Structure 1
Amino acid sequence: MSTRTPGGDLPVRRIDRILAFMSLGLLVLSIACFFAIILGSAAKVDFASGLWPTVGVVVYIAPILAFAMLITVLIMSFVRRARANRGE
């Protein structure tokens, strides 16, 4: 049997919401860049010039940052819930 949080659910803070939506946005951006690279390689585009190097880096960096933001939100919510349960 699990313990109940005192006073019901804890309210969602603004920073939690911001980090969650930024994580989702980075994942969507990464997927869009991935498909842009697929379409660019099908069109035989020169990936060494223009905006393509940035698109290539986003595919590698954005999922890692999104995962780190999601883990941060999880840890923050676990700590906040533990403090609320310890308080009463």
Structure 2
Amino acid sequence: MSTDNSREDVPVRRVDRILAFMSLGLLVLSILCFFVILIGAATHSSFGPLWSAVLRLVVFLAPVIAFVLLMVVLISSFVRRARANKGR
């Protein structure tokens, strides 16, 4: 029984890279906003109602959106690999 070790990997598409970096960027942005809120609360500074709402919205929604983007990348890569393996 021999195995085929000369298997070619499926190339990474540009859309997958863009979605992965968008996910990473949203996570970094969320962490930065979280620390801005912590530092602002520690120094008793006020951001105003608009900035406070924007910061809290980013902290709550960005990780969820980043997770969805990572799932899209993961599922699309699984589908692409399955199609590539089916063609062999």
- Same-fold call, TM cutoff 0.5: yes
Residue type matched to 2:81 in 1?
R
Gaps of 5+ in 1: none
User: Which structure 2 segments of 5+ residues have no match?
Assistant: none
1:1-88 aligned within 5 A: 7-46=7-46, 49-88=49-88
**8 Å CA contact retained: 1:5, 1:84:** no
RMSD: 2.0
Q: Please state whether the residue corresponding to 1:29 is helix, strand or coil.
A: helix
Q: How many aligned residue pairs are there?
A: 86
Superposition misfits of 4+ residues, deviation over 6 angstroms: 3-6
Change (3 A) 1:12 1:65: same
* Aligned 8 A contact 1:26 1:62 in 2: yes
Question: Kindly, what percent of the aligned residue pairs are identical?
Answer: 57
